Amino acid sequence: MSTTADAGAPTAHRPASGAWLHGVVREVDPAALAGLVGMDGRDVRAVRSAGLVAVVSDAPLAEYGEEPLRRKLEDLSWLEGAARAHHGVVEALSRTGAVVPARLATVHRDADRVAAVLAEREAELTAALDRLTGRTEWGVKGYVVPGAPAAEEEPPATGGGGAGAAYLRRRRAQLTAREQGQRIAAEAAATVHDALAQYAVAARRHAAQDRRLSGAPTAMVLNGAYLVDVAALDGFTELVRMLAGRHPQVRLELTGPWPPYSFVAERPAEEAHQVREPAW
């Protein structure tokens, strides 16, 4: 096993430094890493082993050991910044070719351990890189369109009871219409997802985001991820456009390209100091 990692035992002059893992690639140009900034503004570096390259940031264990990291992950402000820094490196790697992104907060005890993981999982990681080569992840989100044509509306109910009863009937009719609209939008979203999944190489349907997270004025009914061949991208985007016209009950939003977070198998990494399990 060969590795360029320099991670000897800690000394009195050099405290123990873990390795925050960003992702794995087949190869990387050192010039491409020169301008990248990882965790806490630190430079990123390559750890080579078994014909693979892991890109890491130094992560002192006094700050990123299991207990300190657990406390950090409870700080939403820190977590947002960490996610942004981690994603920035993964996104830059994805622009140079296939990348197997590590899940957020995957910290190994040192670079030697990272190299060992590359050797242990060479076949698995190589197969993942083969599967992701020439493909990118795209997201399609769908939101309810209020008042979109769906089904023939029933005539308003009539009857006595005065102004109070009339108000209750109107309110009941409004709630019924809203529920029906959301149901029909959900059915349309399922149809859209099935059509996109048949076109894509692989597809995942994630849980819909709450409006407080999505920032959208109406409910999300589709949160799909699709692995698409680069050569087939024009056809995929045209299919999204066509489906949007065919299903006016749902407003579709295409996002991407993204690193293939949704299409990396979940697997814990032995001896990694982390709270959340990594993607591999």
**Rounded to two decimals, what is the model's pTM?**
0.76
Closest among 19, 22, 20 to 91, alpha carbons compared: 22
192 pLDDT tier (thresholds 50, 70, 90): very high
- Each residue's pLDDT tens digit, 36-67: 999 999 999 999 999 999 999 999 999 999 99
Say yes or no to pLDDT of 278 above 80: no
Task: Determine the average pLDDT of the residues in 17-31.
Answer: 94
* Residues above pLDDT 70, as percent of the chain: 76
Tokens of 242: 């066509």
In this structure, are residues 192 and 142 in contact, taking their beta carbons and an 8 Å threshold?
A: yes
User: What pLDDT does 212 receive?
Assistant: 79
**Mean pLDDT, rounded, of the chain:** 84
Q: CA 182: distance to chain centroid?
A: 25
> Could you tell me the pLDDT band of residue 160, with boundaries at 50, 70 and 90?
low
Residue 155 is classified by DSSP as P
What does the pLDDT look like over 215-233, one tens digit per residue? Answer: 888 999 999 999 999 999 9
Query: Is the per-residue pLDDT at 170 higher than 70?
Result: no
| Cβ neighbours for 53, distance < 8 A, ≥ 6 positions apart | 24, 25, 26, 27, 28, 46, 47
What pLDDT shows up at residue 25?
97
Other C-beta atoms closer than 10 Å to the C-beta of 55 total: 27
User: Over pLDDT 90: what percentage of the chain?
Assistant: 68
Q: What is the amino acid identity at position 122?
A: E
pLDDT at 173: 53
Q: Which residues contact 46 (CB under 8 A, 6 or more apart)?
A: 4, 28, 30, 33, 53, 54, 55, 56
165 or 153: whose pLDDT is higher?
165
The pLDDT of residue 211 is above 70: yes
**Mean of pLDDT values over 116-125:** 96
Tens digits of per-residue pLDDT, 98-109?
A: 999 999 999 999
Residue range 259-263: average pLDDT? 94
